[in-house]
Structure 1
Amino acid sequence: MGMDNAIRRGHPITFGLIIVFSIIELAISAWLTSRFNSHHNYSSVTERDRVRYVLFCCTWTILFSALYLILFLHSATGSVLTSVASHFVFLAFTWLLWVAAAASVTQMIGGGLNCKTQEIFVYCGQLNALEGFAWLIWILLTFLLIVVLIRGISAARRGDGYGGSLVV
């Protein structure tokens, strides 16, 4: 029963953290997108497009993480949408979105910017924050994906199949 209590407590906390960090990332990417649209001061079209992609990832993550959080709080057991398989599909797809977002931003700025020496990017600090929060969200999603895989394996061994709930 110890693992079930940990899931009941940890699921809302972890999904809440993902939502909070995604909102922060949304604010940064929306601000950058607004500046790029009004001033056209991006260093390249790929910079503009990658920031827009991060904006999409944030919106996706906030919307669906909030949905999964509400469904989990409403009915942790018995729902198809709160099953291990459903969580795995959502988290795996979202993980792929975020690894692409974080890697593309990292590649764009060369792994990190020293704002005192660089002269290419106009919004140096914001781009560094965009990269940092993207990797932070990816790390949280990786942790959740591992926990869901462990719960899926235990549900399959228990005889519930992969459609079993995260908690018993």
Structure 2
Amino acid sequence: MPIIDTVPAYLVSRANDTMEATVGPPDFSTSYTSTTLTSIIACAIPMIALMFLAGISWVYHHSLQNPKAINKASGYQLQRFAPLFYIFIVLASLAEVAISSWLLLQWDYHHNYPNPRIRAGARYLLFTACWTTATASIFSFLFVHPRWSRYPISSIGSQALWVLVTWIIWIVGSGIVNAALPSLLVKGSCMNIIYCDQVRSLFGKRPLILQYPIDSVALTLSMAVMIWRAWQSTRDVLHTPNTPVK
């Protein structure tokens, strides 16, 4: 006579309840909180950007009314184009803040991050973007303002040190994210990766060609410009003729 395995009814009921809780729809409070915080991010980031643009515009107009004494043509070009570099860095960093904070928000509330390393990398990039936004904003005001630009903190050496430190932490963050999702950022595959386009946006939507955030690329170019300026200044000093003293 065959033996029929029987399972108690209360165990079957408990298993069904567990399965329904696992595959059921997301909690309404969690979804509402996630949507609310997303709306706050979408409103706060543009407001911060507009406040920065208004402030740098005021300082720039003030510098036009009180121009600084510039001896060389290269100094005039630097004074003209450096504010554009700082504006670009600040706006790009704010975009990184928005994207990384949104990703972390979704991953924390829905628990659907690909792996713990990518979440740690996104947190690091969020910190780096906040650091870059704050410090680049300060340096932009110090550089443009006719009186503040005379302080030692506004010197080329201080800015070069800031660029180097910021570039290093961006490269470290990029390495963490690249190592966490090699299939996406190296091979370009979005298989089994949720929020794939948003992760790509951290790297300027060009992971196959540009595997670093746009901020690190801009900082690399700025370091090249500073090296060129230092070489040019050194060359001018070495080739300055010595005037005999009578």
TM-score clears 0.5 = yes
Q: CA deviation at 1:151?
A: 2.3
Contact 1:68–1:82 (Cα < 8 Å) also in 2 = yes
Report whether the alignment pairs 1:73 with 2:144.
Answer: yes
2:110 alignment partner AA: H
Aligned to 2:27: none
Cα-Cα RMSD: 1.9
Structure 2 stretches lacking a partner, 5+ long:
1-71, 206-211, 238-246
Report whether the alignment pairs 1:139 with 2:214.
Answer: no
Report whether the alignment pairs 1:105 with 2:105.
Answer: no
Aligned to 1:123: 195
Report whether the alignment pairs 1:114 with 2:189.
Answer: yes
Give the structure-2-normalised TM-score: 0.59
Q: CA deviation at 1:148?
A: 1.7
Q: CA deviation at 1:33?
A: 1.0
Q: How far apart, in 1, do the equivalents of 2:234 and 2:149 lie? A: 16
Q: How far apart, in 2, do the equivalents of 1:107 and 1:44 lie? A: 11
Q: How far apart, in 1, do the equivalents of 2:234 and 2:74 lie? A: 16
Q: CA deviation at 1:91?
A: 0.3
2:156 alignment partner, one of 63, 76, 84: 84
Q: CA deviation at 1:85?
A: 1.0
Q: How far apart, in 1, do the equivalents of 2:166 and 2:136 lie? A: 10
Structure 1 stretches lacking a partner, 5+ long:
160-168
Q: CA deviation at 1:39?
A: 1.4
1:83 alignment partner AA: S
Q: How far apart, in 2, do the equivalents of 1:156 and 1:77 lie? A: 22
1:127 alignment partner AA: V
Q: How far apart, in 1, do the equivalents of 2:120 and 2:84 lie? A: 32
1:107 alignment partner AA: A
Larger Rg: 2
Aligned to 1:8: 79
1:105 alignment partner AA: V
Q: CA deviation at 1:80?
A: 0.6
Contact 2:104–2:119 (Cα < 8 Å) also in 1 = yes
